[in-house]
Structure 1
Amino acid sequence: MRRKQSENVPKVPTSDQDLVYNFPILWKTLWDMPQIKVLSTKSLVRFNNVVQDYLRDEGMRQRKAAYVEVDTIADYVDDSFARGLNQYNFLYTADDLKKLDEVVILNPDGQKLQALILRNNRSKKWVIALHGWTENKFLGLRQTYLFSKLGFNVMTIDVRAHGASYGTKTDLGYSAPYDLASCVDYLKTHYGMTNYGLIGNSMGGSIVVKYAEDIGYLDPALKFVIDDCGFSNLLLEARYFFQRQTKMPWWKVSFGLRRKFKKVFGYDPNDFDIRKKLSRTAQIPMLFLHGDADDLVPLYMSEQLYKEKIASEQIVVSELIVFPKAKHVEAISVGHKQYVNGIVQFLKKIGEIK
């Protein structure tokens, strides 16, 4: 008869060591392999169902009492009020929103990407925002408001399988950098863009860093990247997600994850590791934002990215700002003053605003 195991499941990992195999974990895995295989299979099925189950470009979303149609201006306004951004007057006015242009951009495969553009005819500078998992281009507007008021032109994009863009199943942002490249080319061709920055939250934060190290490092027009609570490695993030969902140690519920994930999503989650090529981005200033109460993407991931980023900088320009008591994607609201001041000072330091 197997002995009953009692495990202390950490609430939030504080380093990679909390999410990787070591000798004791390997021993316990082998000891309880039959049960672990069953639990892991169930967990991956549940994971796939959860990550694909969200509203896209139709349907009604309820945040508090009211229902609003998703992927619309009303969705953006309702989200801003739900986050309390209205108390800071930190949202676009009705007149601003009337000026939004909705455009369709084709990627190299001819697949349609939906985007929003808000012009400032007095400026050549742009910021492009990438939303998080389950969100859309309208919710991405909350990240662009500050930049619009600072004089930037702005664009937000529906990433694959979100909003009105192509795709029936999300790949959690893995292919998005290449779609983002199509949007950058579109702005250069149609608007003569010569200067742009990127901002993304959660999945979008990981996307903008991945774009910078895969593609953007070759583009002198890319002036800065802001990553708001993105994950550093999808394999480790998925293990933590399984642990968080099941309330069990990750190694009990994620055996064979890489092989099974690749079968379902088409790639190895360990390949979505944005730490590996950060040295390519030595000339691109980056600002990392993260709440210290984030229980979805651990704070240590941004700390790790920041440390890796500045290791390649001859003169340290990149920054990390940690927001006390802010949970996932709450820096903009819970830490609002620090959020605004941090971004403004960062942009001043790198010469993007005066």
Structure 2
Amino acid sequence: MNKTKKIRKKTLVNSIKRGFRIFYNSLETPFFESSIRVSKKIKKFNKTKEDKKWMKELLTTNKVIKRFYKRPELQVLDIDNIQSIYFKSRDQINLAGLVYEPNKNSNKWVIACHWFAGHKSLALHHAMIFAKMGYNIMVFDFRGHGQSQDDSTTMGAKEKHDLMGAVDWLKENRKIDQLALMGTSMGGFVVNYCSFFYKDEFKELNLKFVVSDVAYGSVFSLFLHIRNIYLFFLPKKRTKKVIERLILKQSKQENNLNFHEVSIFHLLREYGNKELFPTLFLHSSDDKVTSSADTYELLIKRSFKEDDYLVFNFSMHTQGIRFHFKSFNYKIAEFINRFEEDDTKFKNIVDQWKLLKFDKKDQLSLLLN
């Protein structure tokens, strides 16, 4: 798929995204896979030249997972089980994705959504526990990210159309016996928002549960937290006015899109907390990008007995799976098993990944937990 002509609106969020993308690229650069090795892998796994971009991306992130995360368990080595796909969002943006099908006889699916300035391959690695629990995985690049069509990033306001486009593709091209959603940061906001706003559609698809990692509850609370961390020199009494101006300006630049409505809190106030899907919330109390207070507030306002949560004392944003690999994945596997009741798969992954045995590499996690 060729990218459509780029749209470069000079909004605050787009400017921040460009900065983050440069930063993330610099972190991945030492791990870039060579073109020669990519070509060899293409032949080995019977892929085509059209697969080169995502293959290079995935082979690079495999290295990141092994050498930087130091968690080879999260690598995707059976590349023959991956297919690249292209589809449209519900507002007709061209999107690129991957379907990973290690469980050929299973019709259980999870759609995993990446974070702001991230991309689909990292979402795939973060969702690998699902593959071990019998699921197949679909990931995709949000608009303005990865191989998808460039467009303004709106922190969930338009990205909800991307996730629902992925749902449409999966529904049309694969059999779905049951479905799960997983999202990190911006992806976490999107899966939370869509599971509420489109709940009737998800009921028909037998959505079992949602896994929300370091998500925010609203754009306003996201901006407020970033102000408290990075713009602490601003007088507190002026904070709300400053954020209001930023949101108003962003809304005007995006054709009067109302960023105050980019809020799960708004949905809960308007529609109440009925007919929710069980959600596992993961966060860290010292997250420097999104606030764990949003997670606690969502838990309180949802007041849903089937929800669960795990909040660490320390972890860099989006890196709970790296700092707390065993606790993080055990909690997700346990949550999945609550609805699957497949003790064999659960025990197998606990034993295979030694999720209850903390060796020298895990001591930092115990100290920070």
The reply to whether residue 165 of structure 1 matches residue 158 of structure 2 is no
The reply to whether residue 205 of structure 1 matches residue 195 of structure 2 is no
Q: 1:240 aligns with which of 215, 218, 225?
A: 225
Query: Could you tell me how far 1:246 is from its partner in structure 2?
Result: 3.4
Q: 2:121 aligns with which of 138, 155, 158?
A: 138
- The separation in 1 between residues aligned to 2:275 and 2:24, in whole angstroms, is 44
Larger mean CA deviation between 275-284 and 180-189 belongs to 275-284
Q: 1:127 aligns with which of 80, 90, 110?
A: 110
Name the aligned partner's letter for residue 316 of structure 2: K
User: What SS does the aligned partner of 2:266 have?
Assistant: coil
Per-residue CA deviations over 1:155-205 (Å, capped at 9, x if unaligned) read: 011011111112332122221222212211211221111311000001100
- The separation in 1 between residues aligned to 2:12 and 2:164, in whole angstroms, is 32
* Aligned match of 1:195: 178
Per the normalisation by structure 1, the TM-score is 0.77
Per-residue CA deviations over 1:77-111 (Å, capped at 9, x if unaligned) read: 2331354242xx322343x1342111001234433
Name the aligned partner's letter for residue 185 of structure 2: S
Question: Which consecutive aligned stretches of 4+ in structure 1 deviate over 6 angstroms post-superposition?
Answer: none
Name the aligned partner's letter for residue 293 of structure 2: Y
The reply to whether residue 330 of structure 1 matches residue 319 of structure 2 is yes
Whether the 8 Å CA contact 1:113–1:165 is kept in 2: the answer is yes
Larger mean CA deviation between 214-223 and 126-135 belongs to 214-223
The reply to whether residue 296 of structure 1 matches residue 281 of structure 2 is no
Larger mean CA deviation between 273-282 and 131-140 belongs to 273-282
User: What SS does the aligned partner of 1:62 have?
Assistant: helix
Larger mean CA deviation between 273-282 and 113-122 belongs to 273-282
The reply to whether residue 81 of structure 1 matches residue 66 of structure 2 is yes
User: What SS does the aligned partner of 2:32 have?
Assistant: strand
Per-residue CA deviations over 1:118-173 (Å, capped at 9, x if unaligned) read: 11211010011000000011111122211111110100110111111123321222
| Unmatched tracts of structure 1, length 5 or more | 1-43
* Aligned match of 1:269: 259
Whether the 8 Å CA contact 2:226–2:288 is kept in 1: the answer is no
What aligned pairs does 1:97-108 form with structure 2 within 5 A after superposition? 97-108=79-90
Q: How many residues align?
A: 302
Q: 2:99 aligns with which of 101, 117, 137?
A: 117
- The separation in 2 between residues aligned to 1:255 and 1:223, in whole angstroms, is 37
Whether the 8 Å CA contact 1:85–1:91 is kept in 2: the answer is no
- The separation in 1 between residues aligned to 2:153 and 2:280, in whole angstroms, is 26
User: What SS does the aligned partner of 2:25 have?
Assistant: strand
Name the aligned partner's letter for residue 269 of structure 1: F
Q: Which has the higher helix share?
A: 2
CA distance 1:49–1:150, shift in 2 (3 Å) = same
Name the aligned partner's letter for residue 146 of structure 2: G
Query: Could you tell me how far 1:296 is from its partner in structure 2?
Result: 1.1
Considering Cα pairs closer than 8 Å and 6+ residues apart, tell me whether 1 or 2 has the greater RCO.
1
* Aligned match of 1:11: none
- The separation in 2 between residues aligned to 1:206 and 1:64, in whole angstroms, is 25
* Aligned match of 1:257: 246
| Unmatched tracts of structure 2, length 5 or more | 1-9, 34-52, 344-369
Per-residue CA deviations over 1:258-314 (Å, capped at 9, x if unaligned) read: 3212112342322111123344563411000001221111111111111122x2x3x
CA distance 1:164–1:332, shift in 2 (3 Å) = same
Calculate the aligned-residue CA RMSD, in Å.
2.6
User: What SS does the aligned partner of 2:215 have?
Assistant: coil
CA distance 1:308–1:324, shift in 2 (3 Å) = same
* Aligned match of 2:30: 66
- The separation in 2 between residues aligned to 1:254 and 1:330, in whole angstroms, is 27
- The separation in 2 between residues aligned to 1:210 and 1:49, in whole angstroms, is 24
Whether the 8 Å CA contact 1:127–1:147 is kept in 2: the answer is yes
